[in-house]
Chains A and B, each alone.
Chain A
Amino acid sequence: MKYKIGDTLENWSFSVIQENMNLWAEILDDPNPIHLDVDSVKSIGLGEKTINQGHANIAYIINAIDQNFPDSEIIKLNNKMTDSIVEGDQVNVSGYIENISTKNDSTIITCRLKLNVGQEKVSVISEADILINN
C-alpha cells in the first residue's frame, strides 16, 4: 500500500478564464449573468469580476483527485462553497489523506481537499471517498 493517513496530495493548479465560463453557461444552460457580465456582478455588489460556475470549481477538485489517484473511482464527494472564484484567478487544489479503510477487496481512501486562491481565499472545502481496487 503506497498511501498513508496524513499524506499530503500533490497540488493541482489552473487559471480561470472567461472563455471557459461562457462555455459552462452553455453546458449548464445557465443564464445567470454573474458568470457572463461584469456589470451584473457590480450591480449586485458581488465584486468587480465575473464569477466562475460552482460546477467548474468542483470539476477542479475532481481533476486533483484524478491526478493523485489515477485509475481510482470517486464514490462520494461532498462540497461546500465558501467563496467565489472569479475570472483571472489562479486556483490551486490541495489536500491530505484523512483515513484509509478496506471493504471487501477494495481500499477506500478518505481525503480532505481545498480549492484556494493564494494563501487567504478558500473557495471550496471537499471531502472525498475514493475507491482503489487492490
Chain B
Amino acid sequence: MEGKLTLAKSKKIYKKWQYLSKNSKDLSLDSFYGLEFPGGEFFIDKKSNLLVNNSTGNKLSGENINRIIQAHPIYFMIITLRGSGASIQDIFDLLNYDTKNGPMLGQCNMTFNTQLKVDCKYFVKGQINSLIKKNSKKLGEIKILDFSLTLFDVDSKNIGNVNYVWILPLGKK
C-alpha cells in the first residue's frame, strides 16, 4: 500500500523525529535532509469545507451543504500539513525554531492529479528536501526549509503533491 505507511515504519520515523527534536541544537543542517514525515491521514468534513470556502470569499450556502461534493482545492495544502503526522509546531520543534521570530511561507508549488472530495479520507507521506542558512537584506539571518508532501486516496492512488519553502528568520539582523 503505497500511500499508507506501515505502523512499524511510522513508529521508526517518529522516533527519529523525537531524537532530532531533542538534539537539533547540536546537529548540522544536513542532518535533516531526506528526513521522512511520520505520515498520517486527514478527513475532509462538510462543515469545515464550508468554513474554508466562506472564510476565503467563496461564499457557499450552508443550506446546500449536502449537495457539495468537491472540496476547495486549498485542502491540498491543509491536508498535507495536517495529515503529515507532524504539526507545524512539531516541524518548528524539530528544528529548534522559535515561532516568535515569525516564520513565513515563501513558496508553495502544487500539482493536482484529481479533485478532492468532501467526506473522504486522504493519506500523506513526505520528506524534508533541504535546510539551509543564509542572510537576507530584509530579515537578517534566516533558515530556508524545503519539504514535499504527497497525498494519496484510500486506494493508494497519488492525488497530488505539494512542495513548500518556508522562510525562518532567526532574529539576528
What's the minimum C-beta distance from B94 to chain A, rounded to whole angstroms?
Answer: 15
Contact A28 B111 (CB under 8 A): no
A46 and B100 alpha carbons, distance in the complex (Å) = 11
A96 within 8 A of B: no
Q: How many residues of B contact A (CB 8 A)?
A: 35
What's the minimum C-beta distance from B156 to chain A, rounded to whole angstroms?
Answer: 20
A102 and B87 alpha carbons, distance in the complex (Å) = 40
Contacts from A to B (Cβ < 8 Å): 12, 14, 20, 23-24, 27-34, 40-41, 43-44, 46, 51, 53-56, 58-60, 62-63, 66, 73-81, 84
Instruction: From B58, B105, B110, B113, give the contact of A63 (CB < 8 A).
Output: B58
Instruction: From A28, A58, A74, give the contact of B88 (CB < 8 A).
Output: A28
B43 within 8 A of A: no
Q: Per-position contact with A for B82-106: 1 when CB-CB < 8 Å, else 0?
A: 1000011100000000011111111
Instruction: Spot the interface stretch: B8-16, B47-55, B129-137.
Output: B47-55
B171 neighbours in A (Cβ, 8 Å): 44
- Most chain B C-beta atoms within 10 Å of own C-beta, residue among A51, A58, A66: A58
Given A27-B78, A28-B78, A58-B108, verify A14-B56 contact (CB < 8 Å). yes
Instruction: Spot the interface stretch: B33-41, B69-77, B118-126, B143-151.
Output: B69-77
